[in-house]
Amino acid sequence: MVELGVVPTQIQPVILCGGSGTRLWLQETGARCRGLAATVEPLVICNEAQRFMVGDQLKRLGIRSNAILLEPEGRGSAPALTLAAVHCVTADDPVLLVMPSDYLIARTDAFERAVERAAALARQGYLVIFGVRPGNAGIGYGCIRAGARVNGAHPVEASFVERFVEKPDRASAEALARDERCFCNAGIVAVRASVWIDAIGSLRRDIFAACERAYRQGGRDGEFLRVDARTFAGCPADSIDYAVLGRLAAGHGVPEAVMVRLDGNSGNSGSGS
């Protein structure tokens, strides 16, 4: 818990931008960050082809980016988050709020409350994910089973992740959907930069080493940050879910994984990220 009189660790929004439909969804995601407390300018991760469109869309909203980090090729969300953590950790070790640009959130108030809870937990060293109650049996989404509550919170508001199943088959998803303690993974993560680096360095050293080298060997071009393409090409492709989250839920390593509930009508737009 943050002590009175102590300035809380800043929240660094990290927007993972990819696929089609980016123009509309990026603007909505960028605008959503404005209502969050203790946030700084967003860090956007995208590919070379999108770089000018991303910069233009943020400027149209009057949003200045922390930086636009360019991936030579998509390698999945785990390398993307690792690049963001390496970039941010030398500042003040912020809480990274990692969001796909194509996630629809109808109730901004519910999102802001969930982020507030998640940031408080992330500041304590937890890796926090967001869970929504399943619709359509949760097909196509990772499934979270909520365990014991955290710090006396209501069990569906902040709970330890007891089990995580990445994209279960239909039969499994239907069974899980009937369990009131099961939630769909929203794909949003809150974690301090140093905590993520420790986790990925412990569980997927190959990803961390490749991303760190690619970042260090890259350079800045105005608002754009380019990583070294040759080094990054050797980085294994993987998702946050497979590389880290599933292993933490199984009890392999630290930090502890925690889920906060995200209420309201939310979902993936289907544009890809």
Domain membership of residue 6 (yes or no) is no
Domain membership of residue 154 (yes or no) is yes
- Which residue is listed with tokens 């998640």? 118
What pLDDT sits at residue 155?
A: 59
Tell me the CATH number at 163: 3.90.550.10
CA–CA distance, 248 with 228 (Å, rounded to integer): 30
The count of domains in the chain is 1
Q: What is the pTM of this model?
A: 0.88
Domain membership of residue 3 (yes or no) is no
Confidence band for 167, pLDDT divided at 50, 70 and 90: confident
For 1-40, how does the pLDDT look when each residue is reduced to its tens digit (9 = 90+)?
333 344 468 999 999 986 554 455 687 888 888 878 778 8
What pLDDT sits at residue 250?
A: 66
Domain membership of residue 4 (yes or no) is no
Domain membership of residue 1 (yes or no) is no
pLDDT at 272 over 50: no
| Phi, psi (deg, nearest 5) at residue 269 | -70, -20
Q: Mean pLDDT throughout 238-248? A: 90
Which structural domain range is residue 81 located in?
Answer: 11-268
Domain membership of residue 273 (yes or no) is no
Asked if 16 contacts 77 with a C-beta cutoff of 8 angstroms, the reply is: yes
Domain membership of residue 48 (yes or no) is yes
pLDDT at 94 over 90: yes
